[in-house]
Amino acid sequence: MTKQTKNHTQSYYLDSEAKKPHTCLTMADKKPLKITKIVIDRDLCIGAATCVTIAPGTFQMDAENKAILVNLEGNDAETILMAAESCPTKAIFLYDEDGNQVYPR
C-alpha cells in the first residue's frame, strides 16, 4: 500500500517495500529517502512542540522548552518529515545520506 502526504511544494510517498525505518520515496525522483541527519535550530525553536506531538520517538522538549533530538531512528522517515513540516518556524532541518538538505527545500 502506498501512503501519501503533501506539503506546499512536494509530495512524498512511503515506500511500501522498504523494511528499514527512515525510508520513503519522493514523487520527484522515486528514490528512497533516508534521513541520516536532523538539525534543530534552537534560536528558531519557539517551543510549539508540534514536532514532539507528531514524532515523540525522535523529538522531545528540554528544560528550556526547546526541541531536542532524542533518537534519529525513533520514527520512520515520513513521520519525521511530517514533524519537520509542522514546525511553524521551520526550525527542523533534514538531510539525506548524501548530505543533501531535504527539508526545508
Interface with ligand SF4 (CB under 6 A): 40, 45-51, 67, 86-87, 89, 91-92
How many angstroms separate the CA atoms of 58 and 103, rounded? 16
Q: How far is the CB of 49 from ligand SF4 (least distance, A)?
A: 5
Which residue, 76 or 85, is less far from ligand SF4 as judged by CB?
85
Q: How far is the CB of 32 from ligand SF4 (least distance, A)?
A: 25
CA atoms within 13 A on the CB side of 57: 10
For 101, the enclosing helix (H) or strand (E) is strand 101-103
Q: Where are the alpha helices (DSSP H) in 15-86?
A: 50-54, 77-86
DSSP symbol at 93: E
Which residue, 47 or 97, is less far from ligand SF4 as judged by CB?
47
Which residue, 25 or 45, is less far from ligand SF4 as judged by CB?
45
